[in-house]
Copies of this chain bind each other. A is one copy, B any other.
């Protein structure tokens, strides 16, 4: 292994000079600098990250806690992870992956041993057991998700309550009076996963405000479960004419499931999803959706953490506003619904 000493000797300077050339933390004459850089190039020197870390007490590694839990839609999680890794690199940070089956213990160990400078926490629950620990930790952290109490934390999240409300409002505006909610797998709600909980609550509240009745059905992502859930949604006495889908895995089955019940999208049922844009575009017909900005969430989380690492004070809560994009699954619903309910003369 070739060290900073080798470079210094080769360039005929002190090790500190080499160091300063690298960090730029003090002026170096052009001559010396280029001589050092040349030596570095010739010898193929790479600074030893661990040694630097030990010297400055900073590792430039952040931990990413991704509890891969039951009912999670892995592709979506993975895109957050990917966004995190990418954003991290822009800050010169590396990512240590913790698929924390050990949850709190894992965090404590990694934190105590000073392996990382900070933590990024995914899959947050309303009363997440990791939260109290995060508050105590020497290292800063950022949560992607919003627990019930956010005091003393830094959180980034889509405003899921507002997202659900946007869906409801869009459908209510189109004249729908009874809306079904096709939710995440049951396990997700049972854990009180923050985003799922908030979405459901936001949905209920918005429906209430708009004087709309609703049916809520959680579902697993497989074919059969979605078909059963769809049946459940249309079993009641109410005329369900619209659906809000908050389940990425189920997305692909929705149209077929409704079809099996003799209902077409969007002619008989309007559908709005909460999911990444790409997924909404892949269904047939493409679904109107409130975008879940996974990439942005990951990026923002890293930016915030990087800020905290640099000693900056950052926004404690970043709530991204929902954006609803209309696509074919609600196409023409508005006019048609009105036509159904109101005499043509009245609308003209």
Expressed in whole angstroms, the minimum distance between the Cβ of A233 and any Cβ of chain B is: 20
Within 8 Å of chain B (Cβ to Cβ): is A85?
yes
Within 8 Å of chain B (Cβ to Cβ): is A47?
yes
- In the complex, chain A residues 284-310 whose Cβ is within 8 Å of any chain B Cβ: 284
Contact with B along A96-110 (1 / 0, CB 8 A): 111101000000011
Q: In the bound complex, do residue A86 and residue B99 qualify as a contact, i.e. CB atoms below 8 Å apart?
A: yes
A220's nearest neighbour on chain B, judged by CB, is B282
Which residue of the partner chain, among B46, B99, B284, contacts A114 with CB atoms under 8 Å?
A: B46
Among the 9-residue stretches A51-59, A184-192, A193-201, A317-325, the one with 4 or more Cβ atoms under 8 Å from chain B is A51-59
Expressed in whole angstroms, the minimum distance between the Cβ of A115 and any Cβ of chain B is: 5
Write out the residue numbers on chain B whose beta carbons fall within 8 Å of the beta carbon of A282. Answer: 222-223
Q: In the bound complex, do residue A96 and residue B99 qualify as a contact, i.e. CB atoms below 8 Å apart?
A: no
**Bound CA span A1–B47, Å:** 26
**Bound CA span A74–B51, Å:** 35
Report copies per complex: 2
Q: In the bound complex, do residue A82 and residue B99 qualify as a contact, i.e. CB atoms below 8 Å apart?
A: yes
Q: In the bound complex, do residue B115 and residue A50 qualify as a contact, i.e. CB atoms below 8 Å apart?
A: yes
Expressed in whole angstroms, the minimum distance between the Cβ of A300 and any Cβ of chain B is: 18
Which residue of the partner chain, among B50, B85, B224, contacts A98 with CB atoms under 8 Å?
A: B85
Write out the residue numbers on chain B whose beta carbons fall within 8 Å of the beta carbon of A61. Answer: 96
Q: In the bound complex, do residue A115 and residue B94 qualify as a contact, i.e. CB atoms below 8 Å apart?
A: yes
**Bound CA span A334–B99, Å:** 44
Write out the residue numbers on chain B whose beta carbons fall within 8 Å of the beta carbon of A101. Answer: 86
Within 8 Å of chain B (Cβ to Cβ): is A217?
no
Q: In the bound complex, do residue B97 and residue A64 qualify as a contact, i.e. CB atoms below 8 Å apart?
A: yes
Within 8 Å of chain B (Cβ to Cβ): is A209?
no
Further contacts, 8 of them, CB under 8 A, given A1-B114, A74-B78: A50-B53, A68-B82, A74-B79, A81-B99, A82-B99, A94-B110, A222-B282, A223-B283
Instruction: Using CB atoms and an 8 Å cutoff, list the residues of chain A in contact with chain B.
Output: 1, 44, 46-51, 53-54, 59, 61, 64, 68, 74-75, 77-79, 81-82, 85-86, 94-99, 101, 109-110, 112-115, 138, 222-224, 252-253, 256, 282-284
